[in-house]
Each structure stands twice: as structure tokens, then as C-alpha cells.
Amino acid sequence: MKTDDECGFFHVCTDGTSLSWMFKDNNDFTYGINRIGVCEILTGAIVLVFSLMDNHAHFLLYGTYARCLKFINRYKTLTGKWISHKYNVPKYLKHLPTSIIPLKSEEDILETATYIDRNAIMAGFKGLPSEYPWGSCQLMFKTNKTRLANCKKIKDFSENELRDLLRTRVSLPGDWLVNNNGMIMPECFVDLEAIEKLFKTPARYLYFLTKKLEGKVDLSISRSQKSFVPDKELRKIAADLAQKTFGTSDIQSLKVNDRIRLAKRLKSEYLSTHKQLGRILHLDASLLKGFV
């Protein structure tokens, strides 16, 4: 795992109370897992733990706040496109709230990791967390690698085969493995070495896994500002967007109409408030209420 002063650990999740469903069948879950690997490649956020539930998703990510934000936004976008194409429900996830919670201590990281791993049984899964097929708990401290035996490397597929099988044009590492159901094996993109190193031993992992942490972690989620991006990060995002759209990152040099265009994008994609948009884009918040 790379270390960087700006990098940290984040609990990233979608709101489990906003939707009745997000993944309906095994095919949805399979490609939901594939999108995790795709989003890791596209954003540089490192996946340590994940769990996909029928109506929400949890991730423990390592990276900068901006990369983690891009990860969940890209994941929502790709999943929304899948839902629109398969179920003919456009923009289903467009306004789905998310939480990005910085984890300050080692204990917070370990408790969040096992909270995510326990999520399936708390939602009614009848087996052990390690038996849940759509999460990373099944990978922890495993010495038996037989489940990878019949998989095929991405480099052994043709470009057309990959496009048909994985439904993506994103270039993925050639040594990543795909099983017979078209699922990218999570062992390829989950940084197991890093998360196991944090737990140190299987016994310590099991100790945390048996702790009832739902009240504590649920409280941190409820207290988090859903989809709120701090001003420092939003300034960077706005400057990058201005550069791509108008050829300059100098927000103040833009015409008012152009800044309002930026405000609409930021409001839609990051759920920023009028007051925050006013600060970032040098506009009167009351003016924005009439346009955004």
C-alpha cells in the first residue's frame, strides 16, 4: 500500500434506507463486484473491504478524500447505467445519498472493517459472514486458493471477448482472474495483504468480528454529512471541472453564467449546498437559489 500525507482510511457507503433494491439477482451482484475493480483502476482508491447488500453497499477504502469520492460517484454512475439498461429505470441512483467517513484510529479502522463483514448477517443472511458470496470476508486469512484454480487470466481473452464478458472498455491488469460466471475474482483488487497486516493475526480478526459494533458504526454514519464535500476538496474539483469545461481553472475569471453552469454540475454530482457553492464559485447564494 502506498503511503501519502493526504491519504487515509475511509468508510464509504450508500444509504440503505433510500432504496428498496440495488442488486436484484446474482447477475447484478456479479457485475456489481466487477465494477469495484473497475472503479479502483479508474480512481486509484484502494479497496480493503467491501460488502454488497441488496439495497446498499459498504466499502473500506484507502486513498485521498478526493479519490474515495470519485470512487463512490463512479460506482453509482456505472451501477445506475446497468440498472437503466437492464430494468429500464433511468437515473435510479442519481440522488442516492452516500457517506464518506474518515477513520482516525487503528481501532476505528478494524471495527469498521468487521462491521462491513458482519453486515450480511445483520441483514438476515443465514450463514457465517465468511460464507456470504458478495463480500470480502470470505477472503480473510484464507490459505486455500482452490477457488482460483479454474479461473482464466484477463490477458488470455480477446478484446471482444472481454467486452462481452465484463461489459467494460476499461483496460484491466492482464493477470487479473475471471471465473466461469464472468466475475472478476475479488482477490485481484482487494488489498488483502494490507488489511490482514492491520489485524495482525486471524485470532485478532475473529475477536473484532464477534464484537457487536452496529450501534457505534451506525451512529457515525448517521452523524456524517451525507455526500458533503469539504470546501478544500470542492475547490479542487471545481477548478478541474472549470479547466475541462472552459479551459481555465481560475474560477473568478469566468462569466457569471459559466459559474452558474458549474454550480449546477456540482449541485447535481456532489449535493453541495447553495451557501457552499456561493463560497466556492464566488457567487451570491441567494442568486443561486433561482438557478440551481
**pLDDT for 17-71, tens place per residue?**
889 999 999 999 999 999 999 999 999 999 999 999 999 999 999 999 989 999 9
Are the beta carbons of 141 and 193 closer than 8 angstroms?
A: no
Note the pLDDT of residue 236.
86
> How far is residue 30's CA from residue 34's CA, in Å, rounded to a whole number?
6
What Cα–Cα distance (Å) separates residue 57 from each residue in 117, 135, 257?
11, 10, 37
> How far is residue 270's CA from residue 280's CA, in Å, rounded to a whole number?
13
> How far is residue 152's CA from residue 16's CA, in Å, rounded to a whole number?
34
Query: Which residues are bridge partners to 98 per DSSP?
Result: 14
DSSP assignment of 125-182 equals --S-GGG-TTBSGGGTT----GGGTT-EEGGGS-HHHHHHHH---S---TT-EE-TTS
For residue 59, give the C-alpha cell. 466499502
- The answer, yes or no, to whether residue 86 has pLDDT greater than 80, is yes
> How far is residue 94's CA from residue 260's CA, in Å, rounded to a whole number?
20
Q: What is the mean pLDDT of residues 95-109?
A: 91
Count Cβ atoms within 10 A of the Cβ of residue 197 and give its class: 0-12 exposed, 13-18 middle, 19 or more buried: exposed
Q: Please give the model's pTM, rounded to 2 decimal places.
A: 0.80
Q: Which amino acid is at 274?
A: H
Q: Which residue has the cell 465484463?
A: 166
- The answer, yes or no, to whether residue 79 has pLDDT greater than 80, is yes
- The answer, yes or no, to whether residue 226 has pLDDT greater than 60, is no
171 Cβ partners below 8 Å, 6+ apart?
Answer: 41
Note the pLDDT of residue 76.
96
Note the pLDDT of residue 203.
97
Q: What is the mean pLDDT of residues 151-157?
A: 95
> How far is residue 59's CA from residue 119's CA, in Å, rounded to a whole number?
11
DSSP assignment of 32-45 equals HHHHHHHHHHHH-P
3-state DSSP assignment of residue 47: strand
3-state DSSP assignment of residue 91: coil
- pLDDT, greater one: 230 or 200: 200
Specify the DSSP element, H or E, that contains 271: none
**pLDDT for 249-271, tens place per residue?**
999 899 989 999 999 888 776 76
- The answer, yes or no, to whether residue 174 has pLDDT greater than 60, is yes
Note the pLDDT of residue 29.
98
Note the pLDDT of residue 223.
61
- The answer, yes or no, to whether residue 221 has pLDDT greater than 70, is no
What Cα–Cα distance (Å) separates residue 206 from each residue in 52, 117, 124, 225, 241?
21, 11, 20, 31, 45
Q: What is the mean pLDDT of residues 222-236?
A: 70
Are the beta carbons of 11 and 110 closer than 8 angstroms?
A: no
- pLDDT, greater one: 167 or 224: 167
Query: Which residues are bridge partners to 128 per DSSP?
Result: none
Nearest CA among 16, 216, 208, 6 for reference residue 99: 16
Q: What is the mean pLDDT of residues 68-91?
A: 95
- The answer, yes or no, to whether residue 137 has pLDDT greater than 60, is yes
Tell me the percentage of the chain whose pLDDT exceeds 90. 62
Q: Which amino acid is at 168?
A: T
What Cα–Cα distance (Å) separates residue 91 from each residue in 24, 94, 218, 225?
17, 5, 27, 22
- Name the band, by pLDDT with cuts 50, 70 and 90, for residue 5: low
